[in-house]
Amino acid sequence: MAIVIVKGRFGFTNALFNARQFNGAGPFTYSGSVLIEKGSDEAKLVTQEIEKVAKEAWGARSAAILEGIRGNSMKFCYVPGDTKTNENYHGMMVLTAKRADKHGHPKIVDRNPQVELSVTDGKPYAGSYGKLKVDIWAQKEAPHGPAIRATLIAAQFLEDGEAFSPTGPASADGFKDEGDDPNAASSLI
C-alpha cells in the first residue's frame, strides 16, 4: 500500500461522480485518470511507488512480473498514453484509479480542499488540471493473476485547461422565447 498524490491533467472524469460498469458489465466503480508528463518528477514518483509495492508483494520476482504486465491496461494502472486512442493522451503517461461503489464515493474537492464539488459544478473535467490521491497496490496471483492497481481516494480540481470535449457545458444560448405556438418555425443559429 502506497498513498500518493499525483498532479497532472485530468483524462477522463465521467465516472468520478457516478459509478459505472466496465463495458456495461461487472461491478460498478468510480474511476478517473490523470495524464502525467513523461520523465517529470510526478512520473518518477509513480514509477518508484509501483516498484516499491511490487517488491513488497513479489520480492525477487517483482522485476519479471512488472515486465510481464507493464503496458497492459487491464493489469497495470500506469500506461503510456500512446496506447490510447485519444490523441490528447499521446506523449503522456496515464495513471488510472478506480474505487468500488460499495466503498462509497471518492472525495472530490476544489482548490480549497474544504469545498466539496458535485457533478453540477462542472469540474473537474477532461482537460482541466488537478490532483488524484490514490493507493497503489499489488494484486497477488489469484484470482486474476498479478496486477498493479490504484484505488481512487480523492480528486482535487486545481485549474482550468482546454477541455478535451469540444461540446463543453450544456447551454440554452441561441434559443428564443417561442411563446405558446407549438408550430413556431425553426431557424439556424
Q: Is position 182 within any domain?
A: no
Tally of domains within the chain: 1
Q: Is position 178 within any domain?
A: no
Question: Residue 29's pLDDT is what?
Answer: 94
Q: Is position 40 within any domain?
A: yes
Per-residue pLDDT band for 141 (boundaries 50, 70, 90) equals: confident
**pLDDT, tens only, 63-116:** 999 999 998 888 999 999 998 888 888 999 999 999 999 999 999 999 999 999
Q: Is position 154 within any domain?
A: yes
CA-wise closest residue to 160 among 93, 111, 92: 111
How is residue 84 written as a grid cell?
490510447
- Domain carrying residue 10: 2-159
Per-residue pLDDT band for 45 (boundaries 50, 70, 90) equals: very high
Q: Is position 71 within any domain?
A: yes
Question: What letters, b where the CB count within 10 A reaches 16 and e where it falls short, cover 92-122?
Answer: bbbbbbbbeeeeeebebbbeeeeeebeeeee
Question: What is the pTM (predicted TM-score) of this model?
Answer: 0.83
**pLDDT, tens only, 144-188:** 789 999 999 999 999 999 998 755 555 566 666 766 666 655 554
**In CATH, what number is assigned to the domain containing residue 22?**
2.40.50.140
